[in-house]
Structure 1
């Protein structure tokens, strides 16, 4: 991976110059390479990735929880199907459901400069980031209930977007859709499914599955107490980084040189100039 460091708002008075780490796959590397390094897609073409507090499920350790079984019973009229994106039957019905969700959902609110149209959905479905779909169809009337877009590159997959008919909200269909994705991908023999990031309490639903791991800045961790520490303290990090925060240091020693995730040995070196000719 080639890395670039894109600067964000710094706080020079406190000696903080934060950067967003961007990754660009090189020859022989794919999106799976970036996911393994804790990166997530920064564009739909999968040519640029960003380092983040990514969450994934180790499918070798995944088992259905009691809560998942309860939600599955609540959604017992919904039939799931896993298919390549080009094989979606009745695409107009699915498009109507998805676009309606995009225009009603609070998650899409900040992205709504105008009402979404079918073309906006099509641009997302017909992109390298969507190779497969997982659909939930209501067997009582054969109507679309929920749809998840997936990037699948065995042995990993990325759960990118979710859409559902809001009339199923009381049955926790969004949770059932994510659980169905995880179960289906485990059935197909994949090793990991990536679920996005976890930077606020509202995103903790992604971490409730067995086999959960998150990227903690050094590597993949399944320490839920550490994740809770990150979530509870991140708004207190005024004037210092997490690795310097007392609450983090109480959980263990600061990072050691051998813990670091990157060596800049291959970074271009500045050229020495002996003289400047006028």
Structure 2
């Protein structure tokens, strides 16, 4: 892998000089290490020819600490009314270019994603060589959702999910995430990565699952209380966290 940094925002008054950190994947076998270092796939520039990853506050479940919660069980009980099931399909056996499938994902994305997504970007995401499996979900025998996953060795990244919005009472999105995590646990994987965790809207991931830790830019931290505080404070930072409380920051690094 190749790690590089790009200059970002500057605030000379507080001596804050930001650098965005990226990683280029050179071999598929590097994926577990790339995720362990806090990187996630970057898909915002569809002209990029190499698989690039960005460093962010990301979230993962350490499956050695995983336990089902009462909320997981509640969602699972409720959805049994519509006879749910799922299958795990290698991408070589699934047509990611099928127009009906693309239209389904495109329609969902533009109803639920915070920013509109183009069909070009959707096709770019699905063409990533690291995408390895599709989880296809059914209810009463009909397809109701898909998860695009990256699986390598003991690592699974729950990258994008698309699902029917017609029956919100069944919490289909929650059940799909829970099902993938449980599948990973039952298949002896070590980690499930759930993407970024910024802002209060991301806290549903924190509330619903056990065994969580987040990447703080230096290390994986299991203190969920501090993560909630960070999410609620997002958008209000004046300077970086090192300058906000230098002693505490260094203490957390064991310096």
Give the TM-score taking structure 1 as reference length.
Answer: 0.78
Distance 1:73-1:92 versus aligned 2 partners, 3 A rule: farther
What is the CA distance between 1:3 and its match in structure 2?
Answer: 2.3
1:100 corresponds to which of 107, 114, 128: 107
| Deviation string, structure 1 residues 201-257 (Cα, Å, up to 9, x no partner) | 10112223111110112211110111122223343321x2112224xx6xx733269
Aligned residue in 1 for 2:57: 53
| Deviation string, structure 1 residues 107-139 (Cα, Å, up to 9, x no partner) | 164324xxx4xx765543342132101121112
Range with greater deviation from structure 2 (122-131 or 11-20):
122-131
Higher strand share: 2
Point out the structure with max Rg over C-alpha.
Answer: 1
| Deviation string, structure 1 residues 150-182 (Cα, Å, up to 9, x no partner) | 000011011110000111333111111111110
Aligned residue in 1 for 2:9: 9
The Cα RMSD (Å) is: 2.8
Aligned residue in 1 for 2:84: 78
Distance in structure 1 (CA, Å) of the matches to 2:248 and 2:14: 23
What is the CA distance between 1:42 and its match in structure 2?
Answer: 1.9
Alignment of 1:111 with 2:110, yes or no, is: no
Distance in structure 2 (CA, Å) of the matches to 1:11 and 1:85: 45
Distance in structure 2 (CA, Å) of the matches to 1:127 and 1:67: 33
3-state DSSP of counterpart to 2:192: strand
Aligned residue in 2 for 1:188: 187
3-state DSSP of counterpart to 1:13: helix
Give the TM-score taking structure 2 as reference length.
Answer: 0.85
3-state DSSP of counterpart to 1:236: coil
Structure 2: runs of 5+ lacking an equivalent = none
Structure 1: runs of 5+ lacking an equivalent = 261-278
What is the CA distance between 1:188 and its match in structure 2?
Answer: 1.3
| Deviation string, structure 1 residues 4-63 (Cα, Å, up to 9, x no partner) | 111122222322111111123467961221101111112497732211101000111111
